[in-house]
């Protein structure tokens, strides 16, 4: 194996997403089957959490993964993020039944201020950060604002789960395989206001919209199903989504690192003003990636219905940003 190991920090490593994520990172599903990794795992310093983390590390050891080049347990972000090339910020309180993700803002905002500062101080200058902990967009915004010495474009929020959920709904509706669907976009916040948009989508090169040709389904079934899927899973499982969230995190990081070869995926990224979204708002956009950089797909036509939906999700994100102003 000739590649130099890269450092991957994961927070909340003993939590349920962590458990579904770490084994896949270490088997090479995220960064490639030829890329050794050093895991830098962060949990709260609490004895029980650290003990559970040790248990997960014992299991990682027992997998004898050829790509595992090292593994560390941490209770402090300032050591966990040292020189890290990738940071998956998962650790945060999840919502329970009856809560909206923004209800977590007060509980989780401080975590992301501290972790943004720690990344700023000790991470690799090219660190690629994915925020999974909810409310993911605003937490990513907080981390970015707390790390002024790092490039804004290295901070992203996870909307890939919404993107994947939308793909599956479209596949079920059209009877076509998920792998045949391209050019799907999810705009805005990882919340029920998100706007999953198949106006540009194609299946085997043919436009999806005329194939579905059902505006009522779009408004009354598709958008609410995708938007409220997280709550539906909490209701069914009694716990928030974990394996599908970990899978989306793997997809997000893999595509960012290894490229999408022209395909669109959805990432939450800081706006530079694209589609009229104010600068720095952490917004879900369709992107393509190449050589470790993402590029927002520009020039798409926004019709009246889409503009209305984009305005709604933007308004929510701006309210969340206002709610954390005092922390920044
Ligand atoms: P969990 O409670 O099972 O695990 C969270 C872990 O994070 C716990 O082990 C906890 O000790 C740890 N933790 C808490 N604060 C920490 C800190 N400051 N530093 C390091 N570790 C810390 O929760 P989970 O199910 O794994 O979910 C984690 C987060 O991911 C939640 O906020 C959840 O809402 C969110 N989530 C986001 C998406 C998405 O699509 N963006 C999808 C699913 C879940
Ligand atoms: C999800 O979408 O499944 C996660 O964000 C968890 C949640 O609170 O909905």
- Looking at the predicted complex, does its ipTM rise above 0.85? yes
pLDDT tens figures, 67-79: 999 999 999 999 9
pLDDT category at 88 given cuts 50, 70, 90 is very high
- Over residues 248-260, the mean pLDDT reads 98
> Ligand 2, atom 7: nearest CA belongs to which residue?
230
Residue 102 has pLDDT above 80, yes or no: no
CA 25/CA 8 separation, integer angstroms:
9
Report pTM. Answer: 0.97
Ligand number with the minimum distance to the CA of 236: 2
Q: Note the pLDDT of residue 96.
A: 79
Ligand 1 atom nearest to CA at 18: 26
Residue 1 has pLDDT above 70, yes or no: no
CA of 294 to the centre of ligand 1 (A): 25
Whether residue 117 contacts residue 46, with contact meaning beta carbons closer than 8 Å, is answered with no
Our answer on whether the CB atom of 49 is closer than 6 Å to any ligand 1 atom is yes
H helix or E strand, kind and range, residue 35: none
| 95 in a labelled binding site | yes
- Structure token pair of residue 1: 């194996």
Tell me where in the chain the CATH 3.90.110.10 domain(s) lie: 159-327
Examine residue 239 and say whether the peptide bond preceding it is cis (omega within 30 degrees of 0): no
- Over residues 156-166, the mean pLDDT reads 98
Average pLDDT value over all residues in the chain: 96
Tell me where in the chain the CATH 3.40.50.720 domain(s) lie: 6-157
Say which CATH topology domain 6-157 has.
Answer: Rossmann fold (3.40.50)
- Over residues 279-294, the mean pLDDT reads 98
Our answer on whether the CB atom of 39 is closer than 6 Å to any ligand 1 atom is no
Whether residue 282 contacts residue 273, with contact meaning beta carbons closer than 8 Å, is answered with no
Specify the residue for token string 């793997």. Answer: 250
Ligand 1 atom nearest to CA at 104: 32
Which CATH code is given to the segment(s) 159-327?
Answer: 3.90.110.10
Our answer on whether the CB atom of 14 is closer than 6 Å to any ligand 1 atom is yes
Residue 137 has pLDDT above 60, yes or no: yes
């Amino acid at each position: 194996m000739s590649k130099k190991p890269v450092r991957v920090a994961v927070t909340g490593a003993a939590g349920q997403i962590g458990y579904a994520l770490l084994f896949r990172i270490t088997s090479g599903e995220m960064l490639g089957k030829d890329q050794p990794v050093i895991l830098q795992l962060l949990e709260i310093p609490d004895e029980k959490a650290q003990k559970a983390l040790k248990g997960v590390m014992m299991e990682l050891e027992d997998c004898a993964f050829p790509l595992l080049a090292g593994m560390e347990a941490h209770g402090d972000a300032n050591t966990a993020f040292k020189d890290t090339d990738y940071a998956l910020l998962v650790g945060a309180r999840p919502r329970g039944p009856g809560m909206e993700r923004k209800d977590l803002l007060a509980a989780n905002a401080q975590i992301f201020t501290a972790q943004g500062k720690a990344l700023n101080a000790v991470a690799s200058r090219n660190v690629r950060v994915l925020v999974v902990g909810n409310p993911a967009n605003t937490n990513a915004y907080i981390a970015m604002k707390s790390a002024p010495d790092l490039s804004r474009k290295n901070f992203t929020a996870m909307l890939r789960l919404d993107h994947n959920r939308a793909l599956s709904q479209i596949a079920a509706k059209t009877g076509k395989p998920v792998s045949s669907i391209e050019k799907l976009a999810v705009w805005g916040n990882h919340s029920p206001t998100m706007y999953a948009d198949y106006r540009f989508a194609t299946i085997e090169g043919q436009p999806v919209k005329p194939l579905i040709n059902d505006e009522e389904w779009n408004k009354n079934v598709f958008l609410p199903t995708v938007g409220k899927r997280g709550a539906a899973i909490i209701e069914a499982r009694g716990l928030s989504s974990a394996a599908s969230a970990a899978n989306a995190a793997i997809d997000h990081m893999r595509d960012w690192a290894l490229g999408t070869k022209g395909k669109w995926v959805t990432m939450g990224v800081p706006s530079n003003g694209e589609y009229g979204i104010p600068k720095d708002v952490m917004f879900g956009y369709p992107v393509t990636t190449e050589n470790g950089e993402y590029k927002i797909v520009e020039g798409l036509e926004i019709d009246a219905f889409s503009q209305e939906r984009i305005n709604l999700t933007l308004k929510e994100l701006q309210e969340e940003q206002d709610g954390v102003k005092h922390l920044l």
